[in-house]
Structure 1
Amino acid sequence: MHHSHPEGRALGFLLGLTDAETARRVRARVGLTGGARETSASRRQRLDRPWTWPPDVPSSVVLWVLQEDDPQLNAVVWQYTGLDTGLRRALARGIPFGPGRERPLRPGWRLPVEEPGIPESYVRHGLVGALRAVTTMAAGRAAASMVLTPDDWASVTEADAERALPGYARWALSVRPDCPPATRAGFGAHPRFTHRLRDAGVLDGPAEYALDHGPAVRVLDLLSMGGALFPARIGEAEDALRPLVRRHLGDRMEAWTALARLIGTFRGTARELTATAGTVTRNGARR
């Protein structure tokens, strides 16, 4: 197993959550080659080369990258993901996504694609007026694409509190990964609404992605790049997984060996992967 392969990077990420001596012994035991733990610099070098964004990444992961307000990372996100129109428009205008940031990204940087067209309803009715005029999902997405700044989101929240926006408008706004949680909560908590958010890839945070999404190898491989892609948020994923690594794997070489055998083909989550590897070895010890 080599560290340059997805399985090796995924295993390497989990080894980064244990102590150095255990990690060294596991690497020797399972034949993980290609160096020790990746550094931030080596991860950034991987981004400098052609790098394929993994498939089926939740939209919230895209937001965590955008919150770095890093032009290089924005270019990676733009190239490899199907961003919604609102996010593309904000990127084209250099609007920052990081909490508390107001200064636009440097004007010398340009994306390879122009800003999407301005919806006619917005030209005629303005932001809130366009949202109130929505009668279809397509119209809802178009109107929602003009909500770009914190002031825009505040206007949306105030307008909805005054008089509920149309359902399609609420839906289009809520599945935007950058919709403020308080605004989204105001739209309701019906099970169908929650299901739509899940289908759209809207997550509470990196811990949810780390624990409850799969296949584990794909999730862990992406998290192994978290120090370069979303360094401000990767700690949340690490903190969620570290207790599982300690509980199910610890310093037991048999458990780590079982995990290394399973990781490439296991279809479940990282939570399930670590538990399964630990259970296999515990059951073997009883026999």
Structure 2
Amino acid sequence: MTWGNNLPGVHFLLSLVEPGDAAVVRRRLGIGKPERHVYSRAAQELQRLGAPRSVWLWVLEEDEPRTRGLVFHHSGTPDALKNDILRGRPFGRGETWLPMAEHCVDAFCSHETREIPVGPNGMIGELRAARTMGTARIAVRSVTSEDWAEVAAADEAEPLPGYARWALTERIDCPARVRTQFGSHPKFAHRLRQAGIVELVQYVETTRPPHAVLGVLHFGRLLFPRRLEEAVAVLSPLVRSELGADPDAWAVLAQLLPTFAGTVPELVRTSGAIAHAGR
């Protein structure tokens, strides 16, 4: 069997069963243990796999100095968030401020904080004046981590325009409570998913195709291990019950994985069902 780019996903699922069972399956499928990756390579794989934009916040939440630079240099990271990274703001549960690692991924890039101009109406005034998506995104550029409470309070006093709300929601660092304040309708949630703003459990349970999702989770073991535990809690019981140490079920999964159009849970259940039906 030619594994190609699907092997990381199999490695991730195998990490959810007992090590002895995983070793038996590896021998049966003819695959070794997963190779070790450096942070920069893992980040490149996330981009290749089309990881949701929220993944970069999950990386920041680790408060790992060696990976903060990866988010800083990601093309989709807004300048206000880059400034927060440079200042050493913690994004996880800790309170210790963390400067950029000495050996950044791009030694030639400027690591000076960037001045972000605020329009003549002030931050809130510019948000209220936004009448197009373009002007809203310009207004949102100046919102820093210290400003979210003020933004939420202004919206509570008088709802911000729809364009401004959406531009704020698109920011990966927009607090969940503020997003909820902006909208909770299923259509709003659907648009968020399309924009790559997802919760990890939601991503695992609903996103397709599974080979991309499982690849993201595999590299997440290195880049966002603490948040990954949410995915492990969801998938581990299912993988153990449906696949376990059954090499036949794993062989079915390996055959289905490259082209399976459903979700990860559907893939696991289908693989177990086909293997059991064949006996």
Which range, TM-score by smaller chain?
0.7 to 0.9
Alpha-carbon distance in structure 2 between the residues aligned to 1:9 and 1:55: 11
Deviations along 1:219-274, one digit per CA (max 9) or x if unpaired, are 11221121221122111111111122022212222111111222223233211211
Alpha-carbon distance in structure 2 between the residues aligned to 1:10 and 1:99: 29
2:5 corresponds to 1:10: no
- The 5 A counterparts of 1:1-287 are 6-33=5-32, 35=33, 42-43=36-37, 45=38, 47=40, 51-52=44-45, 53-79=47-73, 81-84=75-78, 86-91=80-85, 94-101=88-95, 103=97, 105-106=99-100, 112=109, 118-119=116-117, 122-149=118-145, 151-204=146-199, 206-285=200-279
Q: What SS class does the counterpart of residue 83 from structure 1 fall into?
A: coil
Alpha-carbon distance in structure 2 between the residues aligned to 1:281 and 1:214: 22
Which deviates more, 156-165 or 206-215? 206-215
Stretches of structure 2 that go unaligned for 5 or more consecutive residues are: none
Alpha-carbon distance in structure 2 between the residues aligned to 1:83 and 1:64: 13
The question of whether the paired residues in 2 share the 8 Å contact of 1:135 and 1:166 is answered with yes
Alpha-carbon distance in structure 1 between the residues aligned to 2:136 and 2:181: 17
Q: Which amino acid is 2:116 matched to?
A: I
The question of whether the paired residues in 2 share the 8 Å contact of 1:71 and 1:109 is answered with no
Alpha-carbon distance in structure 2 between the residues aligned to 1:263 and 1:235: 22
The question of whether the paired residues in 1 share the 8 Å contact of 2:208 and 2:262 is answered with yes
Alpha-carbon distance in structure 2 between the residues aligned to 1:11 and 1:237: 15
Deviations along 1:116-168, one digit per CA (max 9) or x if unpaired, are 7734xx2422222221221111111112222221x311111111111111111
Deviation at 1:278, TM superposition (A): 1.0
The question of whether the paired residues in 2 share the 8 Å contact of 1:26 and 1:256 is answered with yes
Deviation at 1:31, TM superposition (A): 0.4
Q: What SS class does the counterpart of residue 251 from structure 1 fall into?
A: coil
Q: Which amino acid is 2:249 matched to?
A: A
The question of whether the paired residues in 2 share the 8 Å contact of 1:94 and 1:105 is answered with yes
Larger RCO (CA under 8 A, 6+ residues apart): 2
TM-score (ref. length: structure 2): 0.85
Q: Which amino acid is 2:231 matched to?
A: A
Stretches of structure 1 that go unaligned for 5 or more consecutive residues are: none
How many residues are matched?
A: 274
Q: Which amino acid is 2:129 matched to?
A: A
Q: What SS class does the counterpart of residue 189 from structure 2 fall into?
A: helix
Deviation at 1:22, TM superposition (A): 1.1
Change in CA separation of 1:182 and 1:200 when aligned onto 2, cut-off 3 Å: same
Alpha-carbon distance in structure 1 between the residues aligned to 2:11 and 2:44: 19
| Percent of residue pairs bearing the same amino acid type | 39
Which deviates more, 18-27 or 248-257? 248-257
Alpha-carbon distance in structure 1 between the residues aligned to 2:272 and 2:186: 34
The question of whether the paired residues in 1 share the 8 Å contact of 2:69 and 2:100 is answered with no
